[in-house]
């Protein structure tokens, strides 16, 4: 039985042959994933990333872009391994990027 993430063989029309430019944040996501999966760190493997995507459920999977799915999968895996928690990540993000206050 095919999973919701497996679209191989589905009719989708022609594949666009245009190379789209990466945004800055997409480059950073890819760089972070590559660093976490390199032979020195080995924190997040490609197989773990695939398992992460496949465990989202159809609603979450379809709601997120490719690179947003990568971020979410990395966070889930790092949390499973006890490297960090979402709360720690949220606190660090809030410290670096505080919400705007009204005047």
- CATH number for the region 24-96 comes to 1.10.472.20
Q: How confident is the model at residue 3 (pLDDT cuts 50, 70, 90)?
A: confident
Domain boundaries, the chain: 24-96
Residue found by looking up tokens 């890819």 in the block: 30
Q: What DSSP string runs through the chain?
A: ---TT--TT----PPP--PPPPPHHHHHHHHHHHHHTSTTT--S-HHHHHHHHHTS-HHHHHHS-HHHHHHHHHHHHHHHTTS--HHHHHHHHHHHSPPPPP-
Q: How far apart are CA 87 and CA 82, in angstroms?
A: 12
pLDDT at 17: 86
pLDDT at 33: 94
pTM, to two decimals: 0.76
pLDDT single digits (tens) 86-100 = 999 999 999 998 887
């Amino acid at each position: 039985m095919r999973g919701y993430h497996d679209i191989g063989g589905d009719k989708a029309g022609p594949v666009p042959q245009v190379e789209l430019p990466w945004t800055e944040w997409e480059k950073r996501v890819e760089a972070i994933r590559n660093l976490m999966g390199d032979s020195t760190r080995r924190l997040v493997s490609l197989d773990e990333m695939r398992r992460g995507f496949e465990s989202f459920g159809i609603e979450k999977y379809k709601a997120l872009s490719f690179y947003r799915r990568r971020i979410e999968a990395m966070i889930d895996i790092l949390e499973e391994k006890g490297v960090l928690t979402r709360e720690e990540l949220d606190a660090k993000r809030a410290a670096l990027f505080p919400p705007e206050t009204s005047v």
